[in-house]
């Protein structure tokens, strides 16, 4: 009943608004209301355009001075990372230069050629030379960017099997990651989501009859040896996910029903990255904020926030459900000796099954 009354009231309100609009229109019928802009209107709009142009440039300069972090990209921790950063810097620089010039021309022409009685702007109905210039230049610039980008992408994706890359599977599911290593033979066993058997702790659906699967190692933390090429094989159990490792400049979709892959060589250990000036400053700023927030929490009788410590992370970069924000896994880059020692502590797949 309440809902019905609410609907009726809303209908009456809409009818009243409609009637008021009709009355307003009738009242304005005899009032002169020219839609043609006068010279004064055009002059005001011209100056407003120049004022807005000045505002754009001022806010851009202030943003660069106060919040700019040149050279835009840093802390790449993979061999191909600087190539990605360089491509990004070139693209952003070109966009910034072109945007600065075109915005000036757009606003200045709106001011210079504002409407005035008796004034007619010079214009070209057709000019093949101008059209060729503004067509050929963008084509050359874009072609250069595309070719450079494709060359970079080919170099990144061309993982050389002769370099003996460490093969690691990244297994995505709502809302966590699992890593699977190929064991001593560095070969992943066959797997299929239809073979998942929770009762036997076969959580990734490995083929128990495949001898290559026996020595596979499944972990919830991703350990990588520094300086060694890594070849990632990616699967998804349920929906579309995206394996995103920002510091390694790596991202690849994890698609249900198929295996995708990506490769890179980590170049900086977690310990070394923590000691860089930029990361040290970042961690100090985060912990300063946490200390301030902890004071308020303690005053309420709640626990203080833990101190933040930098770690590489594997994130999901596709919105995959309600807990997407929390789908992450820690990545530890370490020396080959530390990696070997950690691997010896892990349980093999054949030993993890429940009989």
pLDDT greater than 80 at residue 34: no
55 φ, ψ (degrees, to nearest 5):
-60, -45
| pTM of the complete model | 0.75
Residue of higher predicted confidence among 277 and 37 = 277
pLDDT tier for residue 30 given thresholds of 50, 70 and 90: low
**Which residues make Cβ contacts (< 8 Å) with residue 230, sequence separation at least 6?**
165, 166, 168, 224, 263, 264, 265, 266
Beta bridge partners of 354: none
Per-residue pLDDT, 71: 61
Length of the chain: 355
Render the burial of 48-71: b for 16+ CB within 10 Å, e for the rest. ebeeebeeeeeeeeeeeeeeeeee
Per-residue pLDDT, 32: 56
Compute the average pLDDT of residues 112-126: 78
Per-residue pLDDT, 120: 77
Per-residue pLDDT, 245: 93
Per-residue pLDDT, 240: 92
Q: What is the pLDDT of residues 3-28, one digit of tens each?
A: 777 888 888 888 888 888 877 777 66
The Cα 166–Cα 286 span in angstroms is 34
CB count in 10 Å sphere of residue 226:
19
Please classify residue 198 by burial: count the beta carbons closer than 10 Å to its beta carbon, then call 0-12 exposed, 13-18 middle and 19+ buried: exposed
**Which residues make Cβ contacts (< 8 Å) with residue 253, sequence separation at least 6?**
234, 240, 241, 242, 243, 260, 318
């Amino acid at each position: 009943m309440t809902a019905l009354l609410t609907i009726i009231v809303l209908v009456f309100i809409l009818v009243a608004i409609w009637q008021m609009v009709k009355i307003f229109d009738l009242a304005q019928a005899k009032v002169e209301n020219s839609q043609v802009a006068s010279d004064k209107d055009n002059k005001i709009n011209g100056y407003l355009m120049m004022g807005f142009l000045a505002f754009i440039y001022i806010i851009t300069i202030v943003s660069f001075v106060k919040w700019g972090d040149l050279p835009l990209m840093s802390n790449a921790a993979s061999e191909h990372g600087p190539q990605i950063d360089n491509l990004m810097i070139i693209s952003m620089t070109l966009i910034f230069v072109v945007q600065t010039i075109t915005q000036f021309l757009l606003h200045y022409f709106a001011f210079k050629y504002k409407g005035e009685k008796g004034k007619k702007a010079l214009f070209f109905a057709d000019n093949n030379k101008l059209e060729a210039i503004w067509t050929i230049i963008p084509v050359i610039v874009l072609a250069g960017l595309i070719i450079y980008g494709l060359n970079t992408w080919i170099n990144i994706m061309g993982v050389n099997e002769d370099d003996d890359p460490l093969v690691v599977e990244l297994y995505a599911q709502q809302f966590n990651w699992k890593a699977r290593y190929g064991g001593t033979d560095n070969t992943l066993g066959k797997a299929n989501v239809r073979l998942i058997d929770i009762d036997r702790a076969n959580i990734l659906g490995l083929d128990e009859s495949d001898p290559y699967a026996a020595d596979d190692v499944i972990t919830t933390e991703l350990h990588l040896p520094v300086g060694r090429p890594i070849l990632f094989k990616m699967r998804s159990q349920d929906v579309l996910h995206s394996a995103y490792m920002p510091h390694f400049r790596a991202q690849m979709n994890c698609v249900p029903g198929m295996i995708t892959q990506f490769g890179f060589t980590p170049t900086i250990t977690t310990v070394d990255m923590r000691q860089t000036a930029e990361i040290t400053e970042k961690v100090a700023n985060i912990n300063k904020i946490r200390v301030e927030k902890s004071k308020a929490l303690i005053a309420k009788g709640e626990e203080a926030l833990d101190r933040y410590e930098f770690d590489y992370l594997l994130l999901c970069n596709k919105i995959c459900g309600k807990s997407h924000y929390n789908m992450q896994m820690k990545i530890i880059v370490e020396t080959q000796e530390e990696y070997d020692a950690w691997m010896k502590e892990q349980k093999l797949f054949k030993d993890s099954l429940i009989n």
